Amino acid sequence: MGKVLIIGAGGVGGVVVHKCAQAPEVFPEIILASRTIEKCEKIKNQLSRPIETAKVDADNTEELIALIGKTSPALVINTALPYQDLSIMEACLATGVDYLDTANYEPPDEARFCYKWQWDYNERFKEKGLMALLGCGFDPGVTNIFCAHAAKNHFDEIHYIDIMDCNAGDHGHPFATNFNPEINIREVTARGRFYENGKWMETEPLSVHKTFDFPEIGPKEMYLMYHEEMESLAKNIPGIKRMRFWMTFSQEYLTHLRVLQNVGMTRIDPVEYEGRSIVPLKFLKALLPEPTSLCENYSGKTCIGCMIEGIKDGKPKKYYIYNICDHAECYREIGAQAISYTTGVPAMIGAMMMLTGKWKGKGVFNVEEFDPAPFMEKLGKYGLPWTEKILAAS
């Protein structure tokens, strides 16, 4: 259907490449680009079909424009850092190419999740006749689509949404992050936020928590956090009264994180050290295991889903939809761990929706604005089957 340019050769980028390679009828040509060409070549050598590789600095819009102009893709899939979303969107506008990413823009000097920066591109993409699809990973991404599916098929009104993300895996390290350490630690240490009665309420970081019995995993403590999918869902799910996001953490992880915070290693502002300016969190990133190195010995499962309550045919209804993903099975299939897998597979499916015309439009969109049915049908086929249950209403 069309050539794709994938920017970013980390764990998620590797999964997107593998999954695009499994669908040659939709992705006949694949180009993988990164600042580190060796990472691209490593992924290329894992595949049974040929792809192209290229070197590019995703912070440099002019470099991106030159690469897009040279390769002429139908779609750019951004699996680089959230800091780089805007430079890549600018390059797509300059070259007339559609855009897709998995996480919203975040400024390097401020731990702040906000879609406004990217939503502000809506008119420019419309004027160019281009489409930008934001947050097409799992959370954000599939969780938004789960909500759209529920609204379409199970509810007349949705009142409450709890998005719950559990990683019960064991990678064998005392402390490591499953994706880029900078993004992960900034996310976890930020103040919690939830949506209630039309307002955003704030909490101290990880101060609100409760136990939930996750399918195939068991009881785990989960902590209230802010996550970007709530911002778009609050806009696109009418009548919502309360929405929260929860994520599980082991006590070992939280203890390490608390110590690192207390000694200043999670700071994102520069400090002077021996005549040089360094950012403590960037230095910590250099010391921690590379997320892609966790794959081989990773065991256990993830469970990510949505608990939704509302009204159907005048009666209260409670509904739970979720996916279970096994770290070891992901590694056996494509050499990935489940966190990268659950983000990369939906990005490929979103690209498939765009290239096949199942999802189309002019402007900037979040995934829940489109028909969830064709996307949901592909999830199971490409490794992320989902389960839905009707529960006793509260």
Where does the pLDDT of residue 179 fall: very low under 50, low under 70, confident under 90, or very high at 90 and above?
low
Element holding 199 (H helix, E strand): strand 199-203
SS (H, E, C) 373-393: HHHHHHHHHCCCCEEEEEECC
Closest CA to 53 of 19, 89, 13: 13
The number of residues in the chain equals 394
What residue has token string 């939830």?
194
pLDDT band with cut points at 50, 70 and 90 for residue 295: confident
Q: Quick check: 382 pLDDT over 70?
A: yes
**Residue 287 pLDDT:** 84
Taking all residues of the chain, what is their mean pLDDT, rounded to a whole number?
A: 93
Evaluate if residue 171 carries a pLDDT over 90: no
Q: At what angle do helices 11-21 and 37-44 cross, to 10 degrees?
A: 40
Report the alpha-carbon distance of residue 261 to residue 185 in Å, rounded. Answer: 10
Name the 3-class secondary structure at 263.
coil
Which sign does the torsion angle of CA 102, 145, 201, 235 carry? positive
Distance between first and last Cα of the chain: 47
pLDDT in the model for residue 111: 64
pLDDT one-digit tens code per residue, 214-229: 999 999 999 999 999 9
The yes-or-no verdict on residue 307 having pLDDT over 80 is yes
Q: 237-285, pLDDT tens digit by residue?
A: 999 999 999 999 888 888 888 888 888 888 888 899 888 899 888 888 8
Confidence of residue 198 (pLDDT cuts 50, 70, 90): very high
Q: In this structure, are residues 237 and 151 in contact, taking their beta carbons and an 8 Å threshold?
A: yes
Q: Is the peptide bond before 140 cis (omega within 30 degrees of 0)?
A: yes
| CATH 3.40.50.720 domain residues, the chain | 4-134
Lookup: tokens for 81: 């850092």
Share of the chain above pLDDT 90, in %: 77
89 or 393, which is more confident: 89
Query: Is residue 187 predicted with pLDDT exceeding 90?
Result: no
- pLDDT value at position 241? 98
The maximal CA–CA distance of the chain, rounded, in angstroms, is: 68
The band of 181, judged by pLDDT with boundaries at 50, 70 and 90, is confident
The segment(s) of the chain belonging to CATH 3.30.360.10 are: 142-336+385-391
**What's the pLDDT tens digit per position in 87-140?**
999 999 999 999 999 999 988 766 667 899 999 999 999 999 999 999 999 999
3-state secondary structure of 229: helix
Tell me the H-state helices in the chain: 11-21, 37-44, 61-71, 85-95, 116-119, 122-128, 142-153, 181-189, 229-236, 251-262, 280-287, 327-334, 338-355, 372-381
Query: Which DSSP string corresponds to 98-162?
Result: EEEESS----TTS----SHHHHTTHHHHHHHT-EEEE--BTTTBHHHHHHHHHHHHT-SEEEEEE
Cβ atoms of 388 and 350 within 8 Å: the answer is: no
pLDDT tens digit string along 46-66?
A: 999 999 999 999 999 999 999
pLDDT(156) > 90: yes
pLDDT number for residue 313 = 97
The confidence score (pLDDT) of residue 25 equals 97
pLDDT of residue 113: 75
Q: Considering only residues 109 and 230, tell me which one the structure prediction assigns the higher pLDDT.
A: 230
* Residue 320 backbone dihedrals phi, psi, to 5 degrees: -130, 125
Over residues 278-304, the mean pLDDT reads: 85
Among 3.30.360.10, 3.40.50.10800, 1.10.150.20, 3.30.40.230, what is the CATH number of 142-336+385-391?
A: 3.30.360.10
Q: Supply angle C-alpha 134, 139, 142, rounded to 5.
A: 80
The model carries a pTM of: 0.93
The rounded distance, in Å, linking the Cα atoms of 29 and 1 is 9
DSSP letter at 292? G
Local structure of residue 267 (DSSP, 8 states): -
Answer for the pair 41, 54: CB distance below 8 angstroms, yes or no: no
**Taking each helix axis from N to C terminus, what angle separates 142-153 and 229-236, rounded to the nearest 10 degrees?**
20
| Average confidence (pLDDT) over 361-380 | 98
* Average pLDDT of span 27-52: 97
What is the CATH number assigned to the segment(s) 4-134? 3.40.50.720
Q: What DSSP designation does 35 have?
A: S
Q: Tokens 């096949």 sit at which residue?
A: 356
Q: Cα dihedral sign for 16, 22, 23, 25? A: positive
CB of 50 closer than 8 Å to CB of 69: no
